[in-house]
Amino acid sequence: MVVIHYTAMQDAASALERLCDPLAEVSAHYLICAHGTVTQMVEEAERAWHAGAGEWGGVDDINSRSIGIELDNRGTHPFSAPQMDALEDLLRGIMARWNIAPEDVIGHSDMAPGRKTDPGPHFDWARLERQGLAGPARPYDAGGQDASDFIRAAQAAGFTAPCDFETLLHTTRLRRAPWRSGPLASADFTL
């Protein structure tokens, strides 16, 4: 898998310092600054400590099964074009080297609902999806349109980390429709 994060720090230099500090006990394979410069901190075949507790598609221990990419962004604004261009190039290479399916390029929030929100509502998932670099939204027929049907649909789409209905709804919307709010709607079944 590939897990995409934002740094939530003032700048890339601060993030790099923290990600390379052994006392912080956090790392990632790559950091991409807002200007598009890519810094590799951990070899792809090695474990980095970027994901923490969570699950995707019924698989846990994500740190052992993923490559973590940190994007220099506080989560409060869109990601720059040079940064997204660099991410796309990096993803193409990683996905080819490790035979990673687009559906296994996820956000930190996807695998840790309620605990994490990155890469956040300003991240352009549709841009990656158009290029086959992230799984596209698909309609799921769970047999109905109530909360239990939605949970089944979300789990079929990969959102298997344990959480309550409201957290799951917020998490799937963060990925697929960050502008949507209110009660469960039929559009929420497109995951």
Catalytic residues: 70
Backbone angles phi, psi at 72, to 5 degrees: -65, 100
CB 34 within 8 A of CB 80: yes
Q: In this structure, which amino acid lies at residue 8?
A: A
- 3-class SS at 113? strand
Q: Which of 98, 96, 90 is nearest to 39 (CA)?
A: 90
Query: d(Cα 138, Cα 123) in Å, to the nearest integer?
Result: 19
Please state, in angstroms and rounded to a whole number, the distance separating the CA atoms of residues 98 and 6. Answer: 23
On whether the CB atoms of residues 6 and 19 are closer than 8 A, the answer is: no
Residue 78 structure tokens: 């869109």
Token pair listed for 127: 């841009």
- Cβ atoms of 103 and 59 within 8 Å: the answer is no
* Packing angle, helices 147-156 and 165-176, rounded to 10: 50
